[in-house]
């Protein structure tokens, strides 16, 4: 399958992006053209929910993220399909960093639901066992896919801050439990991201490559559609998109399994 889109690219506007000059929209789109990628989804972090107090990290990353991005994009001519979205946050089941009204003005929303490394901001598991973590992840996942906000779930079930328990937590989830959770995503038309966060380094990593393959296989069995995401914070990260072919091939994902995301408005 041709990896024809990347729906998860951060620009210099995301505070976690260290490549401020090299990660500007013009450079990102130029690299996409060189790579033969037909569509790029700009997914900077933001917080747009006045009813919930943002963390100090999120506070400056407000709705101006989108207006600034649109200003940057306005003068760029490219054959790449440009999608303006965001990576929004789930801080607890039912508590999200974006409102439905704001989400409607975007092409897509990646609704993160496993950023547990934000320990003083995002709700934490009630215990220290892999099953505690599994229950916590599934509650977050079900809430996110049922929210009406999400286009796709980025790095699904990858427990940031607890990556050493990734294998063990997923092993505690029976196939039927995962199929049921992914069935909720399918029923709501929410995509599942095939992410570079699923890739282990050549020298081995903190989890088995079989864990993400099982997750994606069960998501496909449940009828889910998929999006592709490099989660790039640098040009080197963006160049990793072709590495996802190993996952799509292993799971048997075809073009028919890909969630089509189109611009809702002109820049």
Stretch among 128-132, 135-139, 182-186, 198-202 having the lowest mean pLDDT: 198-202
Distance CA 67, CA 216 (A): 34
Q: Which residues have a Cβ under 8 Å from the Cβ of 38 and sit 6 or more positions away? A: 4, 5, 80, 81
pTM for this model (two decimals): 0.97
- pLDDT score of 266: 61
Q: Which of 151, 108, 116, 148 is nearest to 132 (CA)?
A: 116
- pLDDT score of 19: 86
Distance CA 6, CA 222 (A): 23
pLDDT-based confidence at residue 196 (cuts at 50, 70, 90): very high
Token readout for 240 is 């990793």
76 vs 18, higher pLDDT: 76
pLDDT at 200 over 90: no
- pLDDT score of 153: 98
pLDDT at 202 over 80: no
Select the CATH number that applies to the domain covering 5-257 from these four: 3.65.10.10, 3.40.50.11240, 2.102.10.10, 3.20.20.140.
3.20.20.140
């Amino acid at each position: 399958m041709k990896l024809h889109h990347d729906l998860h690219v951060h620009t210099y506007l995301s505070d976690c992006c260290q490549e401020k000059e090299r990660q500007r929209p013009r450079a990102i789109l130029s690299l996409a053209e060189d790579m033969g990628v037909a569509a790029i989804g700009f997914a900077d972090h933001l917080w747009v929910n006045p009813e919930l107090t943002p963390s100090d990290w999120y506070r400056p990353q407000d709705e101006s993220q989108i207006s600034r991005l649109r200003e940057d994009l306005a003068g760029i001519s490219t054959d790449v399909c440009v999608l303006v979205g965001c990576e929004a946050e789930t801080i607890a089941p039912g508590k999200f960093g974006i409102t439905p009204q704001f989400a409607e003005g975007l092409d897509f929303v990646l609704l993160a639901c496993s950023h547990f490394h934000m320990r003083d901001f995002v709700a934490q598991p009630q215990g220290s066992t892999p099953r505690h973590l599994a229950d916590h992840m599934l509650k977050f996942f079900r809430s996110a896919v049922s929210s009406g906000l999400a286009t796709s779930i980025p790095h699904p079930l990858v427990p940031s801050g607890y990556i050493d328990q990734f294998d063990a937590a997923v092993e505690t989830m029976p196939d039927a439990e995962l199929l049921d959770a992914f069935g909720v995503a399918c029923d709501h038309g929410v995509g599942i991201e095939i992410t570079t966060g699923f890739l282990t380094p050549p020298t081995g990593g903190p989890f088995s490559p079989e864990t993400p393959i099982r997750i994606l296989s069960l998501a496909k069995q449940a009828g889910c559609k998929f999006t592709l995401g490099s989660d790039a914070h640098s040009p080197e990260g963006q160049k990793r998109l072709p590495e996802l072919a190993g996952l799509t091939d292993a799971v048997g994902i075809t073009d028919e399994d890909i969630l089509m995301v189109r611009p809702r408005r002109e820049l």
